[in-house]
Amino acid sequence: MLRIFFLFCALLAAPLSAQTYGPLQAELQADPDLVERASRRTVGDILSRLADTGSPNLQNFLEAWSDRRVVMREADGAFFIAEQEGDDYLLTDIDTGATSRFAQDAAKELRPNAGVRRLIGTALIEFQLSDPRRDARIDALTALERAGSAEMLELLRASMADEPDTDVAAMKAALERRLTARFDPDPAARISAIEALSDSIAIEDRAALSRILSADTVVVAGVPADGDNVAQVLTPGVDIPLGDAHALLGEAGLAKAPVTREARDAALIAAIENGAVAGVPVSSLNDESARWIAYGILTSTAPAEAGWGTISMSDFDDITIYERYDEQNSNVTSAAVEASAAVETRLALHQSADLGLDALSLASIYFLAAVGLAVTFGVMGVINMAHGEFIMIGAYTGYVVQTIIPDYTVSLIVALPLAFLVAAAAGVALERLVIRHLMHRPLETLLATFGISIALQQIAKNIFGTQARPLTSPDWLAGSWVISDAISISWIRVAIFLLALVFLTAIVLVLKRTRLGLEVRAVTQNPGMAASMGIDPGRIGMLTFGLGSGIAGVAGVAIGLYAQVTSEMGAGYIVQSFMTVVVGGVGSVIGTLAGAGLIGGMQKGIEFLNPSNTLAAQTYMILFVIAFIQFRPRGIVPQKGRFAK
């Protein structure tokens, strides 16, 4: 009677227990130990059974499981989503969402390894592709890029029709094209998608083509097997080094690996006994032939000849080494090869355009740094070695303004004209105190301005210290203008280019449309005649020197936005400034522009060809300038006037 009672209670409790579990919990409780110790081999079956439940809470559970936020309650083995709160867990029922609080020692955390988490993440993609959260959909696309398959391609296509965000829709379309090229069962569809990829240089599209063309190296005796999609046959010593080719033969069991001289010598040394190796006196092992013979005796190899262990071309007789595509369809790989060639051509054009933008940006900087020097030298004939220090003065002016005005946009607006005024005032002071007393004495002027440049650097060190000072650009100048994956330019450099255009226009208008410009041109071409016409050459020289120095100050602010502001920063641009002026034509604004373009373009070209050695660009540029002035000593656009012959 007692046995019947317990049997009745068990039968009554069984359905009651099953009803307490929701669909997800019920599936997990079918084998809780397997869930707790999930592995890459077993988790697939668990995920499949969970998906069959159709539970709307499955996504939340899988996300928590992947994030290691699932625990198993010790009392009954039930699984919950857990959040730690102090010494307790806040447990959330995976089916109903009901919450309860338990002590941490009453639950055990599930710690799925990386492989399990990866498979869970793949299962989540189906849900996340249509997740209401935009970030979740983008994360799903990122995961799908890494774990693509034919099944995932269909899931992606199903989610595209209802995508509300245009940017995400474009991302899905691009990914669909890449996955079609790799996984679509229809070869015609793959080839069509591959042809579409040939119009893009995006790194993801190039990676998709690269995956299609992935290949491994195969070594066979005779000819490639029928059905192998051969990428290319490798000729030892031409397409592949002999040593690597022979190593492949050894790995394939078609040849013994050669014995290196290092291994031979190590074996001989280890075998020395009583002054001999295998009965051969050590004193007789004084050449390669004797050592190889002794090694042959030691290892019982025959014949033991000089040079034993070297690689011979005869080793490759009747051997074929070739690369075999992982993709078996030759039509698909042929289309991918053609698409890759088209992409490489397009990429080269974009890289050339990017190099041109870099050269244009560098030319803008050189123009700003050199145009003041060109005007000064053209009017006064003075070689000002302190011109770089006016760049430094402008940069430090911008730094001081930023310390006073914390708003970077306002401080930049204030710093540009203020740097012009401060540098111009310093230039006028230099002209009044030094330059005017050394006119027509170029050697003394050069030495004096060189000494002044050193003095200005030391003064800057005493005031601001030796450490670089920050000159921060506004937020609207942060980042880059990205045109394509291969073409981009920072907004700071775009701003410097526009600033160079403004100064070019302003200087040309001043020289061509104002009385000051007329007087400057008169003094430049014939100072004696200009003086006889009532023009004061000394006054014009002072104003010109101030103008040139002020422009250098503005250049300092522009350069300081992306380079370090130090006391020596001007010295880094003085050489390029003089090269720009000499190549362009002394005293010519248009010539300075042409010289800046030529110097900037050539420097970027040399750096592109030799990116590991930037110093080489400077050396080659100086050699170019020396050669250039031998054939055109007055520059690209020679100035008429006192220097004309």
Which pair of tokens denotes residue 565? 């502001």
Both ends of the chain: CA-CA distance in Å? Answer: 132
Question: Residue 640 — very low, low, confident or very high, per pLDDT cuts 50/70/90?
Answer: low
Per the CB < 8 A criterion, the answer to whether 490 and 357 are in contact is: no
Handedness of CA 504, 506, 510, 514 (dihedral sign): positive
Q: What is the mean pLDDT of residues 6-10?
A: 38
Structural Rg of the chain based on CA atoms = 39
Tell me the per-residue pLDDT of 530-557, one tens digit each, with 9 for 90 and over.
777 778 777 877 888 888 888 889 888 8
Per the CB < 8 A criterion, the answer to whether 488 and 481 are in contact is: yes
Q: What is the mean pLDDT of residues 144-161?
A: 82
Q: In this predicted structure, what is the pLDDT of residue 116? A: 82
Q: What is the mean pLDDT of residues 180-192?
A: 91
Dihedral angle computed from the Cα positions of residues 539, 543, 544 and 549, in that order, rounded to the nearest 10 degrees? 140
Q: With a cut of 60, say whether residue 72 has pLDDT above it.
A: yes
In 373-455, at which residue ranges do the beta strands (DSSP E only) sit? none
Q: With a cut of 70, say whether residue 639 has pLDDT above it.
A: no
Listed residue (489, 397, 290, 529) closest to 405, CA to CA: 397
Question: Residue 193 — very low, low, confident or very high, per pLDDT cuts 50/70/90?
Answer: very high
Q: What is the mean pLDDT of residues 571-599?
A: 82
Which pair of tokens denotes residue 470? 């920050």
Q: With a cut of 50, say whether residue 18 has pLDDT above it.
A: no
Q: Is the pTM of this model over 0.85?
A: no
Residue 413 CB contacts under 8 Å (≥ 6 apart), including other chains: none
Q: Is 319 exposed, middle or buried (0-12, 13-18, 19+ CB in 10 A)?
A: middle
Handedness of CA 603, 604, 608, 613 (dihedral sign): positive
Q: With a cut of 70, say whether residue 151 has pLDDT above it.
A: yes
More confident: 74 or 174: 174
Q: In this predicted structure, what is the pLDDT of residue 45? A: 83
Tell me the per-residue pLDDT of 89-142, one tens digit each, with 9 for 90 and over.
888 888 888 888 878 777 888 888 888 887 887 777 777 787 788 888 888 888
Q: What is the mean pLDDT of residues 477-499?
A: 83
Q: In this predicted structure, what is the pLDDT of residue 337? A: 93
d(CA 81, CA 63): 10
Which residue matches tokens 């579409």? Answer: 196
Q: What is the mean pLDDT of residues 307-314?
A: 63
**Alpha helices in 304-329, H assignment, sequence order:** none
Which residue matches tokens 């774990």? Answer: 147
d(CA 356, CA 262): 51
Q: In this predicted structure, what is the pLDDT of residue 9? A: 41
d(CA 381, CA 527): 11
Q: In this predicted structure, what is the pLDDT of residue 257? A: 64
d(CA 594, CA 468): 32
Q: In this predicted structure, what is the pLDDT of residue 470? A: 81
Q: Is 35 exposed, middle or buried (0-12, 13-18, 19+ CB in 10 A)?
A: buried
d(CA 130, CA 514): 67
Q: In this predicted structure, what is the pLDDT of residue 422? A: 93
Output the CA angle 317-320-324, nearest 5 degrees. Answer: 170
Per the CB < 8 A criterion, the answer to whether 163 and 169 are in contact is: yes
Tell me the per-residue pLDDT of 227-245, one tens digit each, with 9 for 90 and over.
889 889 998 888 888 778 8
Q: With a cut of 90, say whether residue 190 has pLDDT above it.
A: yes
d(CA 295, CA 275): 15
Q: In this predicted structure, what is the pLDDT of residue 379? A: 65
Average pLDDT value for the chain: 82
Q: With a cut of 70, say whether residue 614 has pLDDT above it.
A: no
Tell me the per-residue pLDDT of 406-445, one tens digit each, with 9 for 90 and over.
888 898 889 999 999 999 999 888 888 888 787 777 788 8
Tell me the per-residue pLDDT of 453-479, one tens digit each, with 9 for 90 and over.
899 889 988 888 888 888 888 888 888
Q: In this predicted structure, what is the pLDDT of residue 270? A: 87
Q: In this predicted structure, what is the pLDDT of residue 17? A: 40
Listed residue (392, 395, 396) closest to 454, CA to CA: 392
Q: In this predicted structure, what is the pLDDT of residue 378? A: 65
d(CA 363, CA 351): 18
Question: Residue 393 — very low, low, confident or very high, per pLDDT cuts 50/70/90?
Answer: very high
